[in-house]
């Protein structure tokens, strides 16, 4: 994570970013071109043809939902104030966590788009339990994710209910444990709970009325680098993930704000599309190139299958609106419990999210959150296996 002062040139701070993002985007484009062009030069090779078919089907099914999620996220960022979101929450920690975990049903955003929103809310004094619950559940418990999961599993609503139900329960549980284990000051990075009139107290936070004392809004944006930057106290910190510039600061009429929402959606889509390409390619390779015997041996141990699928979710950095199509492509290869582990752990933390969490959660709190999520998802997988839940 890099930091620069006001006097540094923006070009210097983003010089490395575009190059890294350009390489990754170039690799994603190369994968897409190879998937569609290789069958014409493979001389009827069945494996190449099957890879192209599986890859294409996953991409064509997932892309519309990822685009829809990006559009909704852009509109929420520009047209829905964070104060309005905070006003929906009750005062008590446990009650606010339960309500916050369901806010995704009203404000559906992907996992990396939700990070700047939660950071801003925490800075306004939102109770820690509510902030963590919304952070973890928002990308799972929302209608876009529910619809995409249903379509990926041929409109079998059992995976939808299990994913959203366990996602909600795990988010609330982790949030309440973190709130009990850490005081507000030891959970968030220094000073975040005191911004904009919020005051930190041991284990709790209080919201106060009045105008904000902050000089200007934090700005989350994504240029060509595909990284977010948080402007806070005269410094800029790089964060990977979806690009966001605070839409609440946008002036102008409806047309200007609609264009800003479209720009946010485009940034999000372009930042996350390469991850979907990588995930689709890995899933297609698993189905066409690897021997089924390997998956049969792995499936003999449900815990091993779940651990492997959870690791895959952490490494792939997929968008929650599209990951169900990757998970569903492993039907017949790994147990249903392992597919659900993949779908619950990915939106709660992956590599890019862990780096983004470090921008407003302290290192010890981030590690504790990740450990709690892993344990909870493994227990969920074990419960599904013991209960004999399968498709």
Q: What is the pLDDT of residues 115-154, one digit of tens each?
A: 777 777 776 667 889 989 999 999 999 999 999 999 999 9
Separation of alpha carbons 303 and 309, rounded Å: 10
b or e along 105-122 (b: 16 or more beta carbons within 10 Å of the residue's beta carbon)?
Answer: eebbbbbbbbbbbbbbbb
Q: How far apart are CA 167 and CA 179, in angstroms?
A: 18
**What is the average pLDDT score of the chain?**
76
Contact predicate 169/176, CB 8 Å: no
Question: Is position 109 within any domain?
Answer: yes
- pLDDT for 182: 87
Specify if 116 maps to a domain: yes
Q: Are 98 and 136 in contact (CB under 8 A)?
A: no
The predicted model gives 13-39 an average pLDDT of 73
pLDDT at 9: 42
Q: Is the pTM of this model over 0.75?
A: no
Q: Distance (Å, rounded) from C-alpha 338 to C-alpha 73?
A: 29
In a domain, 7, yes or no: no
Q: Name 3's bridge partners.
A: 237
Task: Give pLDDT tens digits for 6-22.
Answer: 444 434 444 445 556 67
User: Residue 236 has what pLDDT?
Assistant: 37
pLDDT band at 375 (very low <50, low <70, confident <90, very high): very high
Among 1-15, 245-259, 346-360, the range with the most confident prediction by mean pLDDT is 346-360
DSSP letter assigned to residue 361: B
| CA–CA distances in Å: residue 24 to residues 51, 185, 210, 335 | 21, 37, 45, 31
Token code pair at residue 122: 């925490």
Which region among 19-28, 105-114, 197-206 has the lowest average model confidence (pLDDT)? Answer: 197-206
Print the domain residue range for 125. 12-386
Structural domain includes residue 360: yes
CA–CA distance, 163 with 264 (Å, rounded to integer): 27
Q: Read off the pLDDT of each residue in 64-84 and give the average, rounded to a whole number.
A: 75
Q: Is residue 25 part of a domain?
A: yes
Q: Is residue 2 part of a domain?
A: no
Cα distances (Å, whole numbers) of residue 208 to 186, 211, 218, 391: 21, 9, 19, 49
- Tell me, yes or no, whether 212 lies in a domain: yes
- Please, which pLDDT band fits residue 380 given cuts at 50, 70 and 90? very high
Instruction: For 97-116, write each residue's pLDDT tens digit.
Output: 999 999 888 888 777 677 77
Tell which residue, 274, 346, 278, 341, has the closest CA to residue 307.
341
DSSP line for 21-69 = HHHHHHHHHHHHHHHHHHHHHTTT-HHHHHHHHHHHHHHHHHHHHHHHH
- Asked, for residue 284, whether it belongs to a domain, the answer is yes
- With beta carbons less than 8 A apart as the criterion, state whether 205 and 198 touch: yes
pLDDT > 90 in the chain, percent: 27
Instruction: State how far the Cα of 23 lies from the Cα of 20, in Å rounded to an integer.
Output: 5
| Number of independent structural domains in the chain | 1
Residue 235 · residue 204 · CB < 8 Å: no
Q: What is the mean pLDDT of residues 59-83?
A: 76
């Amino acid at each position: 994570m890099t930091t620069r002062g006001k006097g540094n040139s923006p070009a210097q701070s983003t010089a490395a970013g575009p190059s890294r993002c350009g390489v990754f985007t170039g690799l994603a484009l190369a994968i897409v071109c190879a998937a569609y062009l290789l069958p014409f030069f493979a001389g009827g090779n069945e494996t190449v043809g099957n890879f192209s078919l599986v890859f294409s089907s996953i991409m064509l099914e997932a892309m519309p939902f990822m685009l829809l999620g990006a559009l909704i996220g852009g509109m929420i960022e520009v047209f829905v104030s964070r104060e309005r979101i905070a006003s929906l929450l009750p005062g008590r920690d446990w009650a606010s966590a339960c309500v916050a975990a369901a806010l995704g049903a009203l404000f559906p955003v992907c996992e990396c788009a939700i990070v700047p929103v939660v950071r801003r809310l925490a800075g306004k004094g939102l109770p820690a339990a509510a902030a963590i619950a919304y952070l973890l559940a928002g990308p799972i418990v929302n209608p876009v994710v529910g619809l995409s999961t249903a379509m990926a599993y041929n409109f079998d609503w059992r995976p939808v209910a299990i994913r959203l139900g366990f996602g909600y329960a795990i988010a609330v549980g982790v949030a309440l444990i973190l709130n009990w284990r850490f005081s507000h000051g030891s959970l968030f990075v220094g000073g975040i709970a005191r911004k904009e009139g919020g005051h930190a107290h041991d284990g709790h936070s209080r919201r106060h009325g009045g105008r904000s004392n902050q000089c200007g809004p934090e700005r989350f944006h994504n240029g060509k680098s595909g990284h977010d930057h948080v402007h806070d106290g005269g410094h800029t910190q790089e964060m990977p993930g979806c690009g966001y510039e605070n839409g609440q600061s946008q002036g102008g009429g409806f047309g200007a704000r609609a264009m800003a929402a479209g720009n946010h959606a485009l940034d999000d889509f372009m930042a996350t599309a390469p991850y979907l390409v990588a995930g689709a390619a890995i899933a297609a390779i698993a189905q066409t190139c690897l021997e089924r015997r390997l998956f049969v041996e792995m499936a003999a141990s449900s815990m091993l299958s779940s651990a492997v699928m959870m690791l895959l979710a952490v490494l792939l950095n997929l968008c929650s609106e599209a990951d169900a199509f990757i998970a569903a492509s492993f039907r017949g290869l790994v147990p249903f419990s392992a597919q659900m582990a993949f779908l619950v752990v990915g939106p709660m933390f992956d590599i890019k999210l862990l780096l983004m969490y470090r921008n407003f959660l302290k290192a010890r709190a981030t590690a504790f959150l990740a450990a709690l999520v892993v344990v909870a998802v493994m227990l969920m997988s074990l419960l599904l296996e013991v209960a004999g839940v399968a498709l």
